[in-house]
A = this chain, B = another copy of it.
């Protein structure tokens, strides 16, 4: 018991007390120290190791708390009877994924990616500060189970935001917080019942389409024009639910004008139990003219379900979305008898609540709007010089543009030529629910993740290589 020689490394990344702890724990687990055996006293060990007693104390405390040893006052520390050591000592080594292989160099020098945010766009320091604040709070009630629909605080903050920024008046009790739109759509499918015929535009946000398809939903593909979804198509196809993105349709980029919005609302109100799922996609970023209030803002009869997210406006890694249910649907959900527990950690909810409440979100959006407007304007400037090659649409909102070749170039050929020049652009056909007969001639360019310098370089190249 006295020959306990613990090799202490000054420069270890672990503190001394941890090294002592680890060493003794290993001795016990390997069976070198048996149950009942007495450990050297903290003073003795401290002297032998030439460190302070309290350092040894800390290690011993930890070991007692975990049940490895037991403290007998005025006598000493003794190794406990460990029944069923939990962790086997052997460690499994997993083979490297690419043994010996180099990570393949990225094929593209420039990527007009459609998701992602501007580099440096995430308010990292603020987030860290708020995270610290939240985690420093007294008490650990924060770590017990929370409200299944989301913390009351963040729901109130979101309701206030929706009121002032999106013209949506709702009660915090109508809001459900969830980890991403995918999840909320799954939830919505449960709430709405499984026999709905949901209409979606073609092309549309394919992720939402697949979410619903994989749940077993019946999807009807309907047409769209420059104003958005075709209402007649809705009637014709017998849909009872429709998924739309009025503020900036993905991928086509059109903003649904007020008139069409009203027509759509009228369609929903025409019959009982018709619902509009309004994905308020990219509503945060508008560069010209008055923002149009969300459809849900005009809804008097409770037929609009509003979906919003922080994943696009803050960062894709922040998995927080929200859904505003009409009172009747919320009641239906609550009366299911079992609520799905909330999917966002309470700490993240608290951080976001502070972020909203203290005005950081508003300022963040203002800053990002300015950043994206610059990139947007740059893109538009170059595209105007390319009028002999393509027309473009989807401008003045969002963070991507739609190009339609007018020189005979096809989508496929356009993408191929861009790829050869090291530029990744995206085809509209990737977002179609159902392919169209005639050859596609449109591509999508997202500019959120691109630096302005890169936009200039890439656009200059595109102008060259897309010439016929």
Contacts and interface: CB of A to CB of B under 8 A. Distances in A.
A369 B82 CA distance: 12
Interface in A142-166: 142-146, 156, 159-160, 163-165
A225 to B, nearest CB: 25
Contact of A156 (B94, B179, B186, B346): B94
Interface in A10-68: 22, 62, 65-68
A88 B343 CA distance: 31
A71 interface: no
B67 A369 contact: yes
A319 B343 contact: yes
A434 interface: no
Nearest to A348: B345
A335 interface: no
Contacts of A163: 88, 91-92
Nearest to A173: B97
A316 B62 contact: no
A363 B62 contact: yes
Nearest to A368: B66
A144 B113 CA distance: 11
A144 B317 contact: yes
A102 to B, nearest CB: 17
Contact of A211 (B84, B319, B340): B340
Nearest to A131: B131
B127 A165 contact: no
Given A140-B119, A317-B345, A88 B156 contact: no
Contact of A135 (B116, B131, B336, B369): B131
Interface stretch (A231-239, A248-256, A285-293, A385-393): A285-293
A348 B160 CA distance: 27
Contacts of A142: 317
A190 interface: yes
Contacts of A287: 83
Nearest to A116: B144
A164 B87 contact: yes
A182 B340 contact: yes
A215 to B, nearest CB: 7
B214 A288 contact: no
Contact of A183 (B89, B169, B183, B365): B183
A290 B369 CA distance: 59
Contacts of A320: 345
Nearest to A286: B84
B160 A66 contact: no
A142 to B, nearest CB: 6
B131 A143 contact: no
B366 A214 contact: no
Contacts of A89: 164
Contacts of A117: 143-144
Contacts of A83: 287-290
Given A94-B156, A127-B135, A183-B183, A288 B66 contact: no
Given A116-B144, A338-B210, A369-B67, A94 B172 contact: yes
Given A83-B289, A341-B182, A344-B179, A132 B140 contact: no
A318 B334 CA distance: 23
Contacts of A91: 160, 163-164
Nearest to A139: B119
A191 B100 CA distance: 34
Given A132-B132, A144-B117, A370 B65 contact: yes
B128 A140 contact: no
A67 B206 contact: no
A317 B145 CA distance: 6
